[in-house]
Structure 1
């Protein structure tokens, strides 16, 4: 038996860090939404009781460093599953890009294996399990648009944002999220207006969404990697309505509503950057069907 599952990327429309927690994590407020840029996972039952990861991307580990592997192992351990599985991952989301590619793969594995192994778990139960794997996995289990708080594992659903194009550009570098957080100065950061973004999304006010984008991690990454700042400036110059780095970077995205401007930004960046995508924001949450 085989099962195909999509694992969409996310962008942060807003990312705020409130303080360092006693457990070593940071308390965050993030507004995230899934976009139509997705990895694809093919799950196949195995005769042997083992987990196999297959990917043609050399940056994707095929052992227990892989978050989809960890998702499968967690389900096997927690529910005493004796069936093996092969997880073939077709990567489209750039690796180490601030787009939650690995977390989304783990979330897709949780949703798919829940069905493949007939576990009968709800999305809420899968999201709770996902929080044990990584901070973004819970959100990726649900998909859609949400406010994520705590260390990212407390997820409150929001409506779909106004329709627009999302143009993403990733330079050929990787960014260490841990390193960015280590360099973050909590005493002098400019906090984004999270409530303003929530209100804009609820009102479907595109101009207000663009006014309220913000990411406290951006300044750290821009200082470390000038090429990220250059991409941001290029997007602004080509006429984007809003420009922001996603997560800890290095991917930068812009929002536009008009097709002609989307094409201008997309074509302008392709001569400047390695990986460029033009996609839409996705709609509703995932279902278990």
Structure 2
């Protein structure tokens, strides 16, 4: 039996530069992890089946599941001859802009590597994982990084300054594909390199000032409740309030625990799914 923790990610920046010939968007993003985690366990089977077990009713247990796809790709790539049981204790909200599915897939790459004692370097796992999704390479590494290309090129950054993060997810699910289809890339000046510099300097105020997400305008136009949630979080004392990924989850930063408790309670008044977590980075 082997266990893996799969932390959620948030975007400090998300720059969309242009649409590529392969249909993907060229992006620059600074991402970091937060202390909201799925827990996965892995055990060997005597047959060649991949069995996903989860109590979450909206998480698929067949080939649609990214952790299943990751395990299958590991078996195919490295000649693993026996199957695996994967149990997922799902705590990260789904379709939320927090890379919950990608985090589970990343955990499956690491978990299969450890369970079968393959000794594969993390960089090789991350490169392999890019075949399944653009956020997965970052999730394989974790920590804090600037991601470029379609998200698969990773440059590691130091941990940002300590902060509390309040996450609030409205009762809607957002399709990343739909948001990108409605996007006009290159509309806003990029800011990820400046953000990376601020993270390296450990400058909390500059990090707050530089937060941006090119997808936020598109999502808020289609789902006005996301914009209202951002406004509510700002009015309730967040140092910065922004949407993560393609949404709909909104997050706010504060530095003191009593501020975090106040912001958490304020957001619980207008949103049922709220989390108070720390930056992991």
Which TM bucket (shorter chain)?
A: over 0.9
3-state DSSP of counterpart to 1:105: helix
* Residue 239 (structure 1) aligns with: 237
Counterpart of 1:269 in structure 2 is 267
Aligned-residue offset at 1:190: 2.1
- In the other structure, the counterpart of 1:218 is 216
CA distance in 2, matches of 1:62, 1:186: 35
Deviation track 1:4-27 (CA, whole Å, cap 9, x = no partner) reads 100000000000000000111000
Whole-angstrom distance in 1 between the partners of 2:278 and 2:32: 11
Aligned partner of residue 228 in structure 1, secondary structure: helix
- Aligned-pair Cα RMSD in Å: 0.9
Deviations 1:38-88 (A, max 9, x none): 000011111221100111111100000000000000011111111110100
* Alpha-carbon contact 1:114-1:120 (below 8 Å) kept: yes
TM-score, normalised to structure 1, is: 0.96
Secondary structure in 1 aligned to 2:114?
A: helix
Q: Secondary structure at the match of 1:119?
A: coil
Question: Alpha-carbon deviation of 1:102?
Answer: 0.3
Q: Which residue of 2 aligns with 1:130?
A: 129
Which residue in 2 is equivalent to 1:286?
none
Preserved contact between residue 17 and residue 26 of structure 1 (Cα < 8 Å): yes
Find the residue that maps to 1:82 and give its secondary structure: coil
The 10-residue stretch of structure 1 (45-54 or 191-200) with the greater mean CA deviation from structure 2: 191-200
**What TM-score does the superposition give when structure 2 sets the normalisation length?**
0.98
Contact 2:2 2:115 in 1 (8 A): yes
Give the drift of 1:191: 2.9
Matched with 1:154 is: 153
Moved more, 78-87 or 204-213: 78-87
**Cα distance in 2, alignment partners of residues 260 and 279 from structure 1:** 13
Deviation of 1:192 (Å): 4.2
The answer for the alignment partner of 1:53 in structure 2 is: 52
Could you say what secondary structure the match of 1:229 adopts?
Answer: helix
Task: Work out the CA distance in 1 between the residues paired with 2:47 and 2:171.
Answer: 38
Q: Distance in 2 between matches of 1:90 and 1:118?
A: 23
Give me the whole-angstrom Cα distance separating, in 2, the residues matched to 1:156 and 1:142: 10
Unaligned runs of 5+ in 1: 284-289
> Do the aligned partners of 1:228 and 1:252 also contact (CA within 8 Å) in 2?
yes
SS of match in other structure, 1:88: strand
Is the contact made by 1:3 and 1:116 (CA closer than 8 Å) also made in structure 2?
yes
Correspondence 1:113 to 2:149? no
Q: Which structure 2 residues correspond to residues 37-116 of structure 1 after superposition, within 5 A? A: 37-116=36-115
**Contact 1:192-1:212 at 8 Å conserved across structures:** no
Report the counterpart of residue 280 of structure 2 in structure 1. Answer: 282
How do 1:135-214 residues align onto structure 2 when only pairs under 5 Å count?
A: 135-186=134-185, 189-214=187-212
State the 1:227 CA deviation. 1.2
Q: Equivalents in 2 of 1:248, 1:274: separation in Å?
A: 20
8 Å CA contact retained: 1:192, 1:213: no
The answer to whether the 8 A contact 2:17-2:190 is kept is no
